[in-house]
Amino acid sequence: MAETPILAVQGLKTYYHQDEGVVRAVDGASFALRAGRTLGIVGESGCGKSVSARSILRIVERPGRIEAGSIVLQRAGGAVDLARLDAEGREMRAIRGAEIALIFQEPMTSLSAYYTVGNQIGEIIRLHKGVHKAAARKRAIELLAMVGIPRPERRVDEYPFQLSGGLRQRVMIAMALAAEPRILIADEPTTALDVTTQAQILDLLRGLQKQRGLAIILITHDMGVIAEMADDVVVMYLGRVIECGPVDAIFHAPKHPYTKALLRSIPSILARPRDKLATISGSIPHPYDRPTGCPYHPRCADFMPGRCDVAMPAMRAAGADREVSCFLYEEVGA
């Protein structure tokens, strides 16, 4: 990639120090987001995709901590490493929301039940833009209209419980965009929604990206959503990025055994009726019970004893814009 990524995560490690041991939620993840593009982060539960997002925004909850790595954001005034900023400091607070915004999976739990929609959006506008109440309200109505909420001048005075799931997610998006960020992190934005509502929200995100040149990090477990939305894809497993590359390459020429198995095992609407699915044996290990070596080796079809269970394979270039972390590709010397 010739262009400098707008956000580059390098060797990120976020650990949770618990009484029972250390949970390595993110264990050396690297990826880059290009301006105006969509980066899809895909993986099953416990792969560290959400903690990566929280690390970028510096909202990792205790006892979690960023142990190592850098998160470099390109700003008008030069690059800044978010991992080195004080999480509660002035600079980080100016970035959070205003430059990088986040939308969550469950819009009901992330909206306050006690304030009207207009109040909640208005608060962000006043905080980041320093405008008066009346102007903030006017802007809130504009934002609601922009995310396709019908009769925004009425909805602005309603409470979240009066809205349907789809409308609530639109309100979340309006809130996230209130301070005009350049980067939007969407963590499972459509998982709680019905499929027709999901289509509406994905369409809205695509439209907003086109209109405002938003860069989007889309975190999901749904390969279908990735295929529809992402330009670049990062596949994670147990805190590690195991493969990354352009979306077409990931889907049509996957390299890592986990990516291959994952793609084979997803139920597809294009399959023949009553077709059995390919399965991945076993299940995701418990976070306290991490396998040695490559974290995927106990489930891997291409497991090489004495190799995969001993050392961790490094990320290596594997073709144009692609990287993979697997010993199968080390002999070739890439």
Chain positions contacting another protein, by CB under 8 A: 44-45, 164-167, 194-200, 202-203, 221-225, 227-228, 230, 247-248, 251-252, 261-263, 265-280, 283-284
Tell me the closest approach of the beta carbon of residue 48 to another protein, in angstroms.
14
141 token code pair: 């109505």
Tell me the closest approach of the beta carbon of residue 204 to another protein, in angstroms.
9
Dist. CA 197–CA 203, nearest whole Å: 10
Write phi, then psi, for 76 (nearest 5 degrees).
-55, -40
In the complex with another protein, the residue whose CB is nearer, 62 or 252, is: 252
Tell me the closest approach of the beta carbon of residue 252 to another protein, in angstroms.
8
Q: Which helix (H) or strand (E) holds 258?
A: helix 257-265
Smallest CA-to-CA distance from 42 within 57, 31, 34 is with 31
304 token code pair: 């090489």
In the complex with another protein, the residue whose CB is nearer, 76 or 270, is: 270
In the complex with another protein, the residue whose CB is nearer, 97 or 166, is: 166
Dist. CA 264–CA 170, nearest whole Å: 33
Dist. CA 304–CA 292, nearest whole Å: 13
Tell me the closest approach of the beta carbon of residue 1 to another protein, in angstroms.
19
In the complex with another protein, the residue whose CB is nearer, 52 or 220, is: 220
In the complex with another protein, the residue whose CB is nearer, 13 or 299, is: 299
Tokens 């080796």, located at residue = 297
Smallest CA-to-CA distance from 122 within 107, 135, 111 is with 135
In the complex with another protein, the residue whose CB is nearer, 230 or 318, is: 230
Tell me the closest approach of the beta carbon of residue 170 to another protein, in angstroms.
11
- Cα-based distances in Å from 5 to 33, 101, 152, 238: 5, 17, 36, 25
Dist. CA 82–CA 95, nearest whole Å: 9
Tell me the closest approach of the beta carbon of residue 219 to another protein, in angstroms.
15
Neighbours of 330 (CB within 10 A): 14
Q: Under a CB-based contact definition with an 8 Å cutoff, are residues 265 and 73 in contact? A: no
Dist. CA 180–CA 184, nearest whole Å: 10
Max CA pair span of the chain: 68
Tell me the closest approach of the beta carbon of residue 280 to another protein, in angstroms.
4
Tell me the closest approach of the beta carbon of residue 53 to another protein, in angstroms.
19
In the complex with another protein, the residue whose CB is nearer, 192 or 324, is: 192
In the complex with another protein, the residue whose CB is nearer, 263 or 312, is: 263
Cα torsion for 289, 293, 295, 298, to the nearest 10°?
A: -80
